[in-house]
Every structure is written in structure tokens, then in C-alpha cells.
DNA sequence: GTCTATAGCACGATAGAC
DNA sequence: GTCTATCGTGCTATAGAC
């Protein structure tokens, strides 16, 4: 019976979430009211708040959903490609694809995520599991590739690539071009550049500066 | 009579603004309500909205004030220093100093600024004058220094430095160390590194990649 | 444990009278 | 140019049904 009750609750939880996401998508975050979500889902406002402590919590759930979808979408890319550039390009494009339906209201999401006090901040302690999972994807990008790099840079690279993705997301939320063409172009051009930049570390003079940069990042993370 | 009325209106406008800024400083943006501002200023809420279309508009005014203060604080640095590293370091530290009183609730500000639809976004069209003014400061940093660079990179550098500052601000709002020690360390270590990185462009193999990066940034800005 | 119904607070923002 | 009155919002609280 506990299972039945839990299953029912889980059903309601999902109903509320999917309704909220649909309304967010259709009319944006700001214009979607908790009253409207509850009404559209056929539940009471109190019930919506029973499952999601605030409107932001619904956003948090959306964030988690996105990441799950990204991890799935990335599998065929990592299975098929063995070179660094197509692997990274594919992973970044996969993110664009799963996020596409929410591009219009992603700005609002970004707004909440940028608050350092918010648990939704990608740098927050609460986001650590999600962040680690995301970094793990980039570690797979690096480890499964043909990239030849000094060990310390190689171990730091997944987090640097995560930062790169944060930058691309920042660009993406501001991108108003049709089908986010400009963001796609950015990825297609930036990834080969990053690749060339990494290969430059073979030059001794460059190597020293890169080592210092890695050292700075390490010390700053602590 | 028209002058009298206008003068009175201007007085009210300034009264509302200064009250709002004081309350923002004292208790943060989120906890300062329009009712409290109006009440403290001795006017009605409707009157506050007559002069400032929204709470964000009051924030915009606060933002402008900060930037004016930074431009002033930067003068002695640019007058005294002639080398790139101390010039840039001084300008960045000056920003930390004028911003220090607002560090505690800067997160709230950041939250609003990160919304791409908000006029407060540093990338928005409405922020262009403020952004241009800020880039101009970095142009003075570059132009008044001993830095030797290829012309195209040199002309692009002020905007790159502005981006660097955005990154430092991002770090700063998340910095919980006493007296933002970690942000200060970041500046002191990152600036000499940036200097060394820039000087690497003399190496031919590096030069090509840097040219491509500059080209990418140019194409992406358009 | 799950859910409804409803009343109510404080907020940002607006309308219309003066 | 200023006020009062009011709206719709996010969110909380409570009392109770099943």
C-alpha cells in the first residue's frame, strides 16, 4: 500500500512538473503563475506547493531534467567519435538540442541561477552533484579521445571544458538569431581553436605559461 | 512657474533615488520594498512609480553611480603607472574598492543583471553606454602602457579586458573569504599571467591561433 | 500520506481622482 | 505631480476530507 500511495504521489508530482514546464515553454516563466499551473494540472495551489516548495523549485527540477537528457543524448556521440574535436563538438551540440525547446525562457532560468545564494547557482554546494556529473561527461570526452597532453593539464581539462560550456550557455541565452545559428557557429569555430590551443602546449615557452595558468586555477578552486 | 514645478519634480526624483540607494545599501535590494522606499522618502508609492517605472530602474541608477565612482577612482592609477601590469592591476583593484560596501548583497544585483531580457544585463542594448564607458577605461589602460602588440589584437584588447573583468566580478560575487582576499589574489596572479600570454603572441605558431581567436571574437560580436 | 478549499499577507505595479 | 485605492502575484496557513 505504501508503494501505491508513493506511486500516486509520484504521478501527481510529475503531472505538476510537466504542466509547469509546458506553461513555461508556452508563455515564459514570468507570465506563468502558480495558480495557472495548479489549475491546468487540475490540482490545488496548496498541492503544488506541497510537492514544490516554490516556483524556483520547479525550475530546479527542470534543470535536473535537462541534465539527464543531455547525458543520454551524449551517448551516441561518445560511442561513434574517437577524435577530440568531433567529440567535444558533438557533446556541445547535443546540449543545444535538448535545451532548444526552452531557449526562450532560459533567460529567466539563468537569472535565478546567477544568484550566488541560490541553490540553483552552478557554483553552489547544492549543485555539486549536477556539476560533477557534467564534468564527468567532459572527462569522458577527453579520456576517450586521441588528445596528447601533459598529465596535469589533462586532469584539469574536464573542468576547463565545463567552464567553456558555461561561457557558451551565457552566449546562448543572449542569442536571438534564428535557430540559434550564431551559437552553433561559435561552437563549430571555438572547438577547433581550443584544440589548436591545447596542442600549442608542446612549445616550451607556451608550456610554462599554461602550467602557471593551471596552477592558478588549482589554487583558486580551493 | 514651469521652472519652479520642474525644479520641485527634480527634487522629488532625487529624494526618491537617494532614499532607495540608502536602503539598498543598508538592507539589500531584495529586502527593500517600494513601500519602504516611498514611506522613508515621505511620498506615496504611486509617486515613486511616477518617477521610476520599476524597482529595476532604481537599480539602474545605482549601477550608474558605481561606475562613475570607478571612473574617478581609476584616475590616480592611470596617472601614476606606465606599465601594463600595474595599470591593469590598479584598475581592477579600484573596482573592488568602490564595490566593497555593496559586496554583501551584490548577489541580488547580479541576479537581476544576469537576465538577458533585463535592461540591467551588461550585454543589453540599454547598457551600451555604460559598457562603452567601461571599455574606454580599459582602452586607456592599454593605450597608456608600454605594451607592444600587433595592431588588430591591440584594438580588440580593451573589450577582452572588459570580459576579463566580468569574469572577475563573477568570481567576486561568489567570494566569501574575509575582505575578498581570494579575489585580490586572483587579480594579482591573473594579470601578470595575462601579460605573459599577450607577449607570447610574438611566437609565430602562437600568433596564428591568436589571430583566429581575434577573428572569431570579431565575427561573434556582429 | 495525499489533497482540497479558502482566507490572507506583503509585494510590485497600475488607474483614476484631485 | 501627487495621492488613494486596488489589482494580480508568490507564497503561507489552516482546517479538514479521504
A188 CB within 8 Å of a chain B CB:
no
Residues 51-70 of B with CB under 7 A from strand C: 53-56
Note the pLDDT of residue B113: 73
Q: What whole-number distance in Å separates Cα of residue A170 and Cα of residue A189?
A: 17
| Contacting residues for A5 by C-beta, under 8 A, at least 6 apart | none
* B112 or B57, higher pLDDT: B57
How do the domains of chain A map onto residue ranges?
A: 1-53, 55-221
Using the CB atom, is residue B12 less than 7 Å from strand D?
Answer: yes
B127 CB within 8 Å of a chain A CB:
no
Q: Output the distance from B192 CA to C17 C1' rounded to whole Å.
A: 64
Gyration radius of chain A over CA positions: 20
Using the CB atom, is residue A69 less than 7 Å from strand C?
Answer: no
Q: Output the distance from A119 CA to C12 C1' rounded to whole Å.
A: 24
Using the CB atom, is residue A50 less than 7 Å from strand C?
Answer: yes
pLDDT tens, residue order, chain A (222 aa):
445 457 788 899 999 999 999 999 888 888 899 999 999 999 999 999 999 999 888 888 888 888 899 999 999 999 999 999 999 999 999 999 999 988 888 877 777 667 777 777 788 787 788 889 999 999 999 999 999 998 889 999 999 999 999 999 989 988 989 999 999 999 999 999 999 999 999 888 899 998 999 999 888 877
Indicate the DSSP class of residue A28. -
A211 CB within 8 Å of a chain B CB:
no
Residues 7-26 of A with CB under 7 A from strand C: 8-9, 11-13
Q: What whole-number distance in Å separates Cα of residue A143 and Cα of residue A16?
A: 39
Query: Which one, of A25, A15, A102, lies nearest residue A50 by Cα?
Result: A15
Q: How far is A88 from chain B (nearest CA, A)?
A: 18
Say if residue B1's pLDDT is above 70.
no
SS3 A117: coil
* Chain B residue with Cα closest to A198: B209
pTM for the model: 0.89
Using the CB atom, is residue B33 less than 7 Å from strand C?
Answer: yes
| Contacting residues for B189 by C-beta, under 8 A, at least 6 apart | A216, A219
Q: Which nucleotide's C1' sits nearest to the alpha carbon of A49?
A: D11
Using the CB atom, is residue A49 less than 7 Å from strand D?
Answer: yes
| Contacting residues for A125 by C-beta, under 8 A, at least 6 apart | none
* Chain B residue with Cα closest to A163: B167
Note the pLDDT of residue A117: 72
Using the CB atom, is residue A53 less than 7 Å from strand C?
Answer: no
Q: Output the distance from A61 CA to D11 C1' rounded to whole Å.
A: 19
* Chain B residue with Cα closest to A125: B174
Q: Percent of chain B scored above 70 by pLDDT? A: 97
Hey, are the CB atoms on B111 and A107 less than 8 Å from each other? Answer: no
Q: Residue B56's CB: how many other CB atoms inside 10 A?
A: 17
B108 CB within 8 Å of a chain A CB:
yes
Q: What whole-number distance in Å separates Cα of residue A121 and Cα of residue A125?
A: 9
Q: For residues B66 and B98, is the Cβ–Cβ distance under 8 A? A: yes
The 3-class SS string of chain B reads CHHHHHHHHHHHHHHHHHHHHHHHHHHCCCCCCHHHHHHHHCCCHHHHHHHCCCHHHHHHHHHHHHHHHHHHHHHHHHHHCCCHHHHHHHHHHHHHHHHHHHCCCHHHHHHHHCCCCCCCCCCCCCCHHHHHHHHHHHHHHHHCCCCCCCHHHHHHHHHHHHHHHHHHHHHHHHCCCHHHHHHHHHHHHHHHHHHHHHHHHHCHHHHHHHHHHHHHHHHHHC
Using the CB atom, is residue B35 less than 7 Å from strand C?
Answer: yes
- Quick one: B24 exposed, middle or buried, by C-beta within 10 A (0-12, 13-18, 19+)? buried
For the segment B156-207, what is each residue's pLDDT rounded down to a tens digit? 999 999 999 999 998 998 898 999 999 999 999 999 999 999 999 988 889 9
Hey, are the CB atoms on B113 and A114 less than 8 Å from each other? Answer: yes
Q: How far is A4 from chain B (nearest CA, A)?
A: 41
Residue nearest to nucleotide C11 (CA to C1'): B33
CATH level 2 (architecture), domain B1-53: Orthogonal Bundle (1.10)
Q: Residue A161's CB: how many other CB atoms inside 10 A?
A: 22
Residues of chain A in contact with residue B112, where contact means CB-CB under 8 angstroms, are 111
Residue A155's H or E segment, with its range, is helix A151-174
Query: Which one, of B215, B211, B1, B191, lies nearest residue B89 by Cα?
Result: B191
CATH level 2 (architecture), domain A55-221: Orthogonal Bundle (1.10)
Residues of chain B in contact with residue A118, where contact means CB-CB under 8 angstroms, are 111
For the segment B11-36, what is each residue's pLDDT rounded down to a tens digit? 999 999 999 999 998 888 889 999 99
Choose the closest CB to A111 out of B115, B185, B189.
Answer: B115
SS3 A175: coil
CA distances from A117 to A73, A135, A156, B143, B171 (A): 31, 22, 26, 38, 13
B65 CB within 8 Å of a chain A CB:
no
Amino acid at each position: 500500500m505504501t508503494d501505491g500511495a508513493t506511486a500516486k504521489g509520484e504521478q501527481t508530482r510529475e503531472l505538476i512538473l510537466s504542466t509547469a514546464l509546458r506553461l513555461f515553454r508556452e508563455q515564459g516563466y514570468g507570465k506563468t503563475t502558480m495558480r495557472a499551473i495548479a489549475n491546468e494540472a487540475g490540482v490545488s495551489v496548496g498541492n503544488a506547493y506541497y510537492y514544490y516548495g516554490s516556483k524556483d523549485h520547479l525550475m530546479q527540477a527542470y534543470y535536473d531534467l535537462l541534465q539527464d537528457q543531455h547525458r543520454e543524448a551524449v551517448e551516441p556521440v561518445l560511442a561513434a567519435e574517437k577524435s577530440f574535436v568531433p567529440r567535444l563538438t558533438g557533446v556541445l551540440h547535443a546540449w543545444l538540442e535538448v535545451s532548444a525547446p526552452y531557449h526562450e525562457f532560459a533567460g529567466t532560468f539563468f537569472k535565478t541561477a546567477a544568484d550566488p545564494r541560490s541553490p540553483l547557482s552552478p557554483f553552489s554546494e547544492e549543485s555539486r552533484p549536477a556539476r560533477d556529473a557534467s564534468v564527468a561527461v567532459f572527462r569522458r570526452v577527453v579520456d576517450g579521445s586521441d588528445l596528447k597532453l601533459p598529465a596535469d593539464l589533462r586532469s584539469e581539462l574536464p573542468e576547463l571544458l565545463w567552464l567553456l560550456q558555461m561561457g557558451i550557455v551565457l552566449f546562448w541565452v543572449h542569442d536571438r538569431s534564428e535557430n540559434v545559428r550564431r551559437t552553433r557557429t561559435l561552437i563549430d569555430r571555438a572547438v577547433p581553436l581550443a584544440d589548436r590551443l591545447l596542442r600549442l602546449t608542446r612549445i616550451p615557452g607556451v608550456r610554462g605559461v599554461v602550467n602557471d595558468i593551471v596552477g592558478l586555477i588549482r589554487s583558486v578552486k580551493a
